[in-house]
Structure 1
C-alpha cells in the first residue's frame, strides 16, 4: 500500500510542471502526508479542455458513504480490481487524476524493530502517482485515492505493493478518461525503476504529528541503516 508520502513543491512549481491552472490556492508543503490530509491533485476541468491543480482529501469517499470517515479506509485502490470495484470503477472510467509526490514511505520489520524507508527518484525529480477523484455530500467535498500495483525490483524487498507511478508521456492518456485498462495500468519499466532509490530515514516519520525536511535525514544510528 501507499499510506504515507511527501509532497513539498510549491503551487507555482506544480502549475509549471503539470501545465495546470491552480484553483486551490496556496498550501503548506508536507514531508509526512497521512490519510485524510488535504493533498494536491491534477485533474481535467469540467469542460475537459484544461488541466487544473486542485486540492483533495486523501481517501476517496463513495457517494453512498454516510460520512467522510469512510475515506480513511480508501486511500488506495488496487490496480488489479479498480476497473470493476463498486467504489472505484466509475471514477476510474471518468475521474482520473495525477497525485504529485516527491516520494513515499514504507516500514521494514526486523525482529521488534521497524525501520522506515523513503523511496524517491535519485535525481530529485518529481513523481506523479495515478489517482482517482470524486466528490461527496452537499458541499461536494473533493476526495481522492492513489492506485497501487505489485512492487517490482528492489522495491519488493520493502513492501509487496507500491504506488502506480506514471511517467510524463502517460499523463495525457491517464487524464483523458476512457481507454484500455491494461494499457493505462502498465507498471514502470526496469529502466524507470532503476531511477528510484531506497533510503533509510528517521523513525520520527512514524508519528503523523511530525513534519519537516528532517524526516528525510538518515537514521541517527548506523545499525538502523543496515536492516535493509
Structure 2
C-alpha cells in the first residue's frame, strides 16, 4: 500500500502529459499524505451531456482518502477516520466505501513525481522513493467519488487502486516480512484515455504490474 507520494512540482506537466486544459489552483503541498487535498485527473461529470465545451479530461482537487457517495451527510466523523487512501482491487467492487465508484466506473489518474514504500530488509523501515527511469511523472490508477456534507456541499475524494505484489520482481522486497506485498497500479501513458473511459466490467483489464525495469528505487537517508 502507498501512504505517501509526491505530486507534480511542474503543473505544466498536467497539460502536457495528462491532457487537461486548465491547471488547478496551487495546493501548496508537494509531499502528499492521507487526508490531504490532492490533484486527480478524470473525465468530467458533464462529459456525456453533449456540450462541446466540456473537455475530455479535467484536473480536480479532492481528499486523498475516498468517502463514498453512499455516506450519510452526518457520517463524515466515522468515514473520515477510515484508511481509504488505497483500495484493494480484489474487494473494492463489493466494498461499501469503494463499491459505488467501482460500479459507476469513476476512474481517475493520480499524477505523481514519486511514490514511497518502506524497505524492512534491514530490520528497520527505510523509506524508499520510486520514480520512473525516464524521469516522467507517474499516472496512478484510482477511483473517485463525491458525497454531500451536512451543509449540502459536494465534497470530492479519491483513492489509489492496489494489486498483489508477492511475485513482483521489485515490490515483493518492500513492506514487512510475512505480510502480503501490495503495489499501486501505475498506468502506461498510452492507456490514460482508455482507463478514464473504460466501463466497470473492463476495470480489471488495467490492473497489472508496471514493468519493474522501468522504475528506480532510491533509499532515503
TM-score with structure 1 length normalisation? 0.79
One of 80, 88, 95 as aligned partner of 1:85: 95
| 1:85 shift after superposition | 2.1
8 Å contact kept, 1:76–1:146: yes
Give me the whole-angstrom Cα distance separating, in 2, the residues matched to 1:153 and 1:110.
Answer: 15
User: Does residue 41 of the first structure (1) align with residue 54 of the second (2)?
Assistant: no
Deviations 1:22-68 (A, max 9, x none): 363223351x2100011110011123252001111100012325116
Give me the whole-angstrom Cα distance separating, in 1, the residues matched to 2:212 and 2:24.
Answer: 32
Deviations 1:154-188 (A, max 9, x none): 22101311111111122122111414233132333
Give the length in aligned residue pairs. Answer: 198
One of 107, 120, 126 as aligned partner of 2:137: 126
Give me the whole-angstrom Cα distance separating, in 2, the residues matched to 1:133 and 1:102.
Answer: 20
One of 58, 62, 65 as aligned partner of 2:64: 58
Give me the whole-angstrom Cα distance separating, in 1, the residues matched to 2:195 and 2:77.
Answer: 26
Aligned counterpart, 1:186: 208
User: Does residue 199 of the first structure (1) align with residue 206 of the second (2)?
Assistant: no
Give me the whole-angstrom Cα distance separating, in 2, the residues matched to 1:13 and 1:150.
Answer: 30
Q: Which runs of 5+ in 1 are unaligned?
A: 202-218, 220-228
8 Å contact kept, 1:36–1:58: yes
Aligned counterpart, 1:154: 170
Give me the whole-angstrom Cα distance separating, in 2, the residues matched to 1:147 and 1:129.
Answer: 8
8 Å contact kept, 2:120–2:174: no
Aligned counterpart, 2:178: none
Alignment of structure 1 residues 134-153 onto 2, 5 Å: 134-136=145-147, 137=149, 138-151=152-165, 152-153=168-169
Aligned counterpart, 1:76: 86
Task: Calculate the aligned-residue CA RMSD, in Å.
Answer: 2.0
Q: Which 4+ runs in 1 deviate beyond 4 A? A: none
TM-score with structure 2 length normalisation? 0.81
Aligned counterpart, 2:51: none
Give me the whole-angstrom Cα distance separating, in 2, the residues matched to 1:125 and 1:23.
Answer: 18
Aligned counterpart, 1:166: 187
